[in-house]
Amino acid sequence: MYKRLSAVMFPLTALLLIGALVWGYQENQEKNSILIKAENQYQRAFHDLSYHVERLHGELGNTLAVHSGSNGMHRKGLVNVWRLTSEAQNEINQLPLTLLPFSDTEEFLSKIANFSYKAAVRDFAKKPLTDGELGNLKALYKDSGEIAKDLQEVQQKVISKRLRWMDVETALATENKVEDNTIIDGFKTVDKRVASYPELDWGPSVASIYDKRSVKKLGGTPVTPADIKRKAAKFADAGTNADVQVKENGKGTDWASYTATVTLPGRNQPISMDFTVNGGLLISYNDNREIGPAKVTMQQAVAKAEEFLSQKGYPNMTAVSADQYANMGNLTFVTKQDGVLVYPEKMTLRIGLDTGEVTGFQASDYVHEHRDNRKIPKPKLSLAKAREMLNPEFKEIYNRLAWIENEDAVEVLTYEFGGKINGSQYRIYLNAEDGHEEAVEEIRTASGAQNL
């Protein structure tokens, strides 16, 4: 019996063992194949990065080599700088550097890309490169040469010592030192060098992208939790029996704020509000009550929202858009000064369409951008002349004066034209001084959406 059993089990066991060995070998081969592909990708991205930074240095030199009035060559050179910088950024993103401090270099390349793009797309006949911008290009030429040299030194060591990027990834992930940290040390050297460069004047259009808006930048005297408690109770129309709790967020940081929670008698869901520490300005309001079936029209909701804002100390606010989502309405309001819509001073409101009451709003843009009596000039271009600059096929629905911030981060007076073309709705903003297009927006309307 045992002989029979062994005669069956031995071949079966041998077969299973051989199968396990084959499976293990295949798994190991697949693993090695994946590792080789990853290593090849890292190597390609790194060598391309070194090549494109060297090309970037050369293109900056070419742009500076021509006459200061060579607008065509300047435009071509800046477009190439933008393209090469964008490629370098993409290659950095393909390397395992997420755990390695390389943020200064990434931001530096990002600023070069934004600076070159915004300079290249403008009308050089009207706005040629300034002396300051040429000075920036000279500084960038010098700095990019140093970065390119550092990367080439790392590249030579990678090739000569046959260093592997997979070892770098493992070292960064486990925080363990490998035998040769040449790659990590090389990138740290590059980032340290970039951090030591003096900050350039990139101009308002680029600086605005990296401007970190914070409550610390707001003026006003810092307020106390007791002040916030009074403000929150007043805003929520809470009586003496309401429970008001205040907590401070992000103490000692640029984003320090207060959150007030107001629980009204007979209500389970509290009302929450966020206030700035400086000045005690209301940033957001949120009423978490349950919303019933819609009974109020969007026109009625807009009227109720205007009344709410006026009562709460936000006069001269005008609705510019209204969207309905089931039993909720989302409204966008901006300040209206002397017949001009001031778009930087924007706030959004959420309306419960069961009663038309405001259930929430976000006012951070309004808080940071509000100015009393902005100096808004009169339009130099007539409405009729501005209309002539529209596409002849554009079917105008409305027009109004609007104060906007353009892509150069400069506030300008414009004619806002709303209308349709090619089956879509657009807002076109034409400069009220010379009629050129400052911005074009496609309006994607939701159910119940209205242009106001």
| DSSP secondary structure of 87-100 | HHHHHHHTSS-TTS
**248 and 142, same structural domain?**
no
List C-alpha distances in Å: 368 to 22, 128, 345, 365, 443: 66, 32, 8, 5, 26
**298 and 161, same structural domain?**
no
In a domain, 220, yes or no: no
Least trusted range by pLDDT, from 12-21, 202-211, 438-447: 12-21
Residues 370-399 have a mean pLDDT of 94
Residues 136-147 have a mean pLDDT of 92
Model confidence pLDDT, tens digit, residues 224-250: 999 999 999 999 988 777 899 999 987
In a domain, 129, yes or no: yes
pLDDT score of 388: 95
pLDDT score of 373: 81
DSSP state letter for 198: P
Least trusted range by pLDDT, from 11-25, 81-95, 276-290: 11-25
In a domain, 1, yes or no: no
Quote the number of domains for the chain. Answer: 3
In a domain, 377, yes or no: no
Residue type, 85: T
Last residue of a domain, one of 187, 210, 233: 210
pTM of the predicted model as reported, rounded to 2 decimal places: 0.72
**158 and 30, same structural domain?**
yes
Q: Which domain holds residue 48?
A: 11-210
**161 and 80, same structural domain?**
yes
- Give yes or no for a contact between 237 and 357, defined as CB atoms under 8 angstroms apart: no
* Listed residue (8, 24, 52) closest to 152, CA to CA: 52
Distance CA 199, CA 163 (A): 34
Distance CA 242, CA 239 (A): 6
**145 and 102, same structural domain?**
yes
Residues 188-201 have a mean pLDDT of 85
Distance CA 82, CA 186 (A): 25
pLDDT score of 178: 47
**184 and 298, same structural domain?**
no
**361 and 230, same structural domain?**
yes
